[in-house]
Structure 1
């Protein structure tokens, strides 16, 4: 399953990227996010692995390519699913940045999540868009 979401943020691209990479920003803009812990590699570098902790689950992030300020590409592995996410940062002006997020779910493990992905595919897109909208609100404050 593949989809794309986007949002325009009224801040310069460097500010948006700084907030995107900051786990403290995620705590304030993503409901349930607790912390990010580097497991191996260099922070934010291609090949780095981190564990992401949420209220109800954990997942592992592997950075596939960090080509900032243009894009950030990573894989996310959870007990029940795996996906890649490419986040592109497009400056629209000196003080406006568009974030374009391309998600590709590659694996669904387990009966329930497979059913959800087939019957309610927009659930995943709505969750991603919700996070982007909350990130926009937080970053523009």
Structure 2
């Protein structure tokens, strides 16, 4: 399953990237975020792996982030793996007139039970969640954080 989401942030790209590239800021724009723990590789570089934990309802979800490409301020790509799901994220940042356009290309690959579930749910809920993260990041970057205050 593939889809693309875009959002315009009313801040220059350099400011946006400075916020986006700092894992300490995740608590301000990712609902349910618990922590980010570097696991291996050089932090922030391709090949680096990190464990990210979230609270979703009553359960805790862990995923592994692997950075696959980094050419900031233009691009940041990473894979996110959680049981039965691989999310391949390609993020592109461009600037025009002091604003930043963030385009996120997502590809989800499913295994086992999650493959069956994705057939019934379609991409709607996944795209909606991506847009929520992007809108929450926009609010944070523009000085109106949603979480972690």
Give the equivalent residue in structure 1 for 2:146.
none
Q: 2:136 aligns with which of 134, 137, 141?
A: 134
Match of 2:118 in 1: 117
Deviation, 1:83, is: 1.5
Give the Cα–Cα distance (whole angstroms) in 2 for the partners of residues 46 and 24 of structure 1. 19
What is the number of equivalent residue pairs in this alignment? Answer: 138
Structure 1, unmatched stretches of 5+, are none
Counterpart in the other structure of 1:60: 64
Structure 2 residue runs without a partner (length 5+): 144-149
Please provide the CA RMSD for this pair: 1.1
CA deviation after TM superposition for structure 1 residue 28, in Å: 1.1
Instruction: Give runs of aligned pairs for residues 1-141 of structure 1, distance below 5 A.
Output: 1-55=1-55, 56-93=60-97, 95-106=98-109, 108-111=110-113, 113-121=114-122, 122-141=124-143
Deviations 1:90-141 (A, max 9, x none): 1122x200100000112x1332x32331122211000001110011011101
Instruction: Give the whole-Å Cα distance in 1 for the aligned partners of 2:71 and 2:20.
Output: 14
- TM-score normalised per structure 2: 0.88
With normalisation by structure 1, the TM-score equals 0.93
In 2, Cα distance between equivalents of 1:35 and 1:21: 15
Runs (4+) of structure 1 moved beyond 4 Å?
A: none
| Matched position secondary structure for 2:11 | coil
